[in-house]
Amino acid sequence: MAEVVLRNVKKIYQSRQKKKKEDVLAVKNLNLTIQDGEFLALLGPSGCGKTTTLRMIVGLESITEGEILIDGKVVNSWNPAQRNVAMAFETYALYTHLTVRENLGLCLKAKNVQPQEIEKQVNHIAEILKITDILNVRPSHLSGGQQQRVSLGRALIRRPSVTMLDEPLSHLDAALRLETRIEIKRIHQRVKGTFIYVTHDQLEALALADRVAVMNFAELQQVGTRKELFEQPANVFVADFVGEPPINLYYQSTLEEQDGELYAVTPQGAYRFQLVPQKRRLLENHQKEKVTLGIRPQHIGLEQKPGYVPLSGKGALFEFLGEYGYLTVHNQGLDLSLLTPADIESHSEQIDIFYDPHKVLLFDSE
């Protein structure tokens, strides 16, 4: 087990094209601590620097600036073998001349583990990942999903101090993805090692991780539990990227005071959200300025729960999402979406809805 600390880590790639001199800033001043035994997800859109971050931790990529510490020791100059970090790649990186069994057992063989013990461990991991029937096959004969599971198995069998998985489920179909996700969680609980899990899929990150680190454009946006990211997103990007169905966001909203109450009002006054008194200090900072208003569909409903405030909208669009319904109301061209029970009558008239004023989010206008 091990703690991983990134201190002001920066990565600049020299341009791949010789003619162009533009370098790529792939990771910018990243400060992040992954605790011993923690399951941390690194979440962000494609190209934001997730893989680069893993490659720097494992030692496959040099660090332009900053320090990486594993268990308190700066490892910048250590080679990958010295770091005891294993990584499963999105692009498999399997030995094509070896069978699946040999690919899985290779690192144990290198550690002089007894053949019977290797056999036992390989069979065990193969069973977990449902690849027992392909143990004697070479990678070139396997599907993408199968290769991905072998790659995952090879990282897990090493029992390293730190296990890093780079989009390990991206090539699996939906059912297998869910099954393997649960298996990864179970393996983490069993081995209790430090796991860093890269994904661009927020549902995957939220389902698996103790904490999620959200990145965008080479920069860390926020690190937090799913509750923190959901209820207190640090900025509009996090609010929008994390959570499903997507948050209602209104740029160019204003703050207004009326009869001693504070309101956030969407453009043209389509929706007026009462704010709790704790947000009063915002008025001093933002008076007359524009703000971005956000409220999650989960925090609006058709029922007046205690503390909820009514609001009305016109016209509606209803989608059945299985467990629940997703209702969109319109007002002056602006949509507002909320979650409802799955079995409501479809609405097309003026409708009363209710929101939790504690959950109204405000962000600085960009």
**Under the rule (CB under 6 A), what is the footprint of ligand ADP?**
13, 16, 24, 26, 44, 46-52
List the one residue out of 156, 158, 155, 180 whose CA is nearest residue 169.
180
Our CB check for Mg ion shows the closer of 43 and 338 to be 43
Our CB check for ligand ADP shows the closer of 44 and 301 to be 44
Q: Which residues contact 44 (CB under 8 A, 6 or more apart)?
A: 50, 200, 214, 215, 216, 221, 241
**Structure-block tokens of residue 196:** 């860093």
State the DSSP H helix or E strand holding residue 229, giving kind and residue range, or none if neither.
helix 226-231
**Structure-block tokens of residue 190:** 């069993």
Q: Residue 218 CB, nearest distance to Mg ion (Å)?
A: 13
- Give the one entry of ligand ADP, Mg ion, none that residue 24 binds, where binding means its C-beta sits below a cut-off of 5 to 8 angstroms depending on kind: ligand ADP
Q: Which residue has the tokens 């539990």?
A: 225
- Give the one entry of Mg ion, ligand ADP, none that residue 283 binds, where binding means its C-beta sits below a cut-off of 5 to 8 angstroms depending on kind: none
Size of the site for Mg ion (CB under 5 A): 1
Q: Residue 69 CB, nearest distance to Mg ion (Å)?
A: 23
Our CB check for ligand ADP shows the closer of 46 and 136 to be 46
Cα distances (angstroms) measured from residue 356 to each of 50, 280, 297, 309: 35, 17, 11, 6
Q: Residue 218 CB, nearest distance to ligand ADP (Å)?
A: 7
Binding positions for Mg ion, 37-56, rule CB under 5 A: 51
Neighbours of 189 (CB within 10 A): 9
Which 3 state secondary structure label does DSSP give 48? coil
Q: Residue 10 CB, nearest distance to ligand ADP (Å)?
A: 12
177 within 8 A of 165, measured Cβ to Cβ: no
Long-range contacts, stretch 207-212, CB < 8 angstroms, 24+ apart: 207/181, 208/39, 208/41, 208/181, 208/184, 209/39, 209/40, 209/41, 210/38, 210/39, 210/40, 211/38, 211/40, 211/41, 212/40, 212/41, 212/42, 212/43, 212/242
Q: Residue 90 CB, nearest distance to Mg ion (Å)?
A: 6
Binding positions for Mg ion, 322-361, rule CB under 5 A: none
Our CB check for ligand ADP shows the closer of 24 and 282 to be 24
Q: Residue 13 CB, nearest distance to ligand ADP (Å)?
A: 3
Our CB check for ligand ADP shows the closer of 63 and 311 to be 63
Which 3 state secondary structure label does DSSP give 11? strand
- Give the one entry of ligand ADP, Mg ion, none that residue 267 binds, where binding means its C-beta sits below a cut-off of 5 to 8 angstroms depending on kind: none
DSSP class of 251:
E
| Rounded-to-integer distance, Cα 87 and Cα 94, Å | 12
Our CB check for ligand ADP shows the closer of 47 and 66 to be 47
- Give the one entry of Mg ion, ligand ADP, none that residue 152 binds, where binding means its C-beta sits below a cut-off of 5 to 8 angstroms depending on kind: none
- Give the one entry of ligand ADP, Mg ion, none that residue 193 binds, where binding means its C-beta sits below a cut-off of 5 to 8 angstroms depending on kind: none
| Rounded-to-integer distance, Cα 247 and Cα 293, Å | 10
Our CB check for ligand ADP shows the closer of 13 and 320 to be 13
Q: Residue 41 CB, nearest distance to ligand ADP (Å)?
A: 13
Q: Residue 26 CB, nearest distance to ligand ADP (Å)?
A: 3
Q: Which residues bind Mg ion (CB under 5 A)?
A: 51
